[in-house]
Structure 1
Amino acid sequence: MEKINSVSQVNAFFQELNQAKKDRSALASHISAKTARLVAYLRQNGPVLVYREDKATMIEAVKKVSVKFDKAKLASLVGLSAAVLNPIKIAELVEQGKITAAQVEGCQYEEEDYKLKTRKAKKKEIADFRNKQ
């Protein structure tokens, strides 16, 4: 690694660093946009056979469901700030009778998201793809 010897080199190095961060951010948003378009296509048309480095690969959009907890909703029920509510504090509030377990469960909700899944294609899938053409 190159040694920095002067203030002007520090400035140049700092400018390069900031530009690299901007480039990384732009690349990340570009990748996210491309992935979203690909997932939308796969959700509509189903799995597709593609080639990655000369290897047959199946890509598909897979639904992931995660359970989320709405602290803001619970905070409005008990009159506290959401930052104060942690699992221990919530358990104490239930034990004290200030909220019920049903109210806590009512603050949970499911969020679904689609992710891109890739795997090695099976011989039958490759043959089916060639027969379609």
Structure 2
Amino acid sequence: MRFTGVPAEPPPPVSGGETLRGWAAGVGRSTGRARALTEPDPGAIAEGEVLVARATDSSWTPVFLRAGGIVVERGGPLSHAAVVARELGVPAVLNVPAATAALDGRLVTVDGDRGEVVIHREPS
């Protein structure tokens, strides 16, 4: 198999507040409320919310089916989070230190093309 051509230009950066950077694992963008979970409970995340976890394994797959985006503190290109995010077409960013503490409950955009998580400013 041979690929030819030029990759499309990535979309412009998301404007917002603070930006956390990690490893781009699943392409696309998703904006939603971040939900930090410590165990794989699909009932603990609403459809379209952004899943935030320290690490995942195969028991997290049902949660991935509900997530609009995925942010994980640890994981590489062949980790569970990266592989499943790509298979499902869910935007994902990995290796974002302290993401569970920083993001829970915040409105965020997961940019799986750039490997960035933008925390949006919200009225107090």
Q: Which bin holds the TM-score, normalised by the shorter protein?
A: under 0.3
Greater share of residues in helix? 1
Instruction: Decide which structure has the larger Cα Rg and report it.
Output: 1
Q: What TM-score comes out, normalization by structure 2 length?
A: 0.21
TM-score normalised according to structure 1 size: 0.20
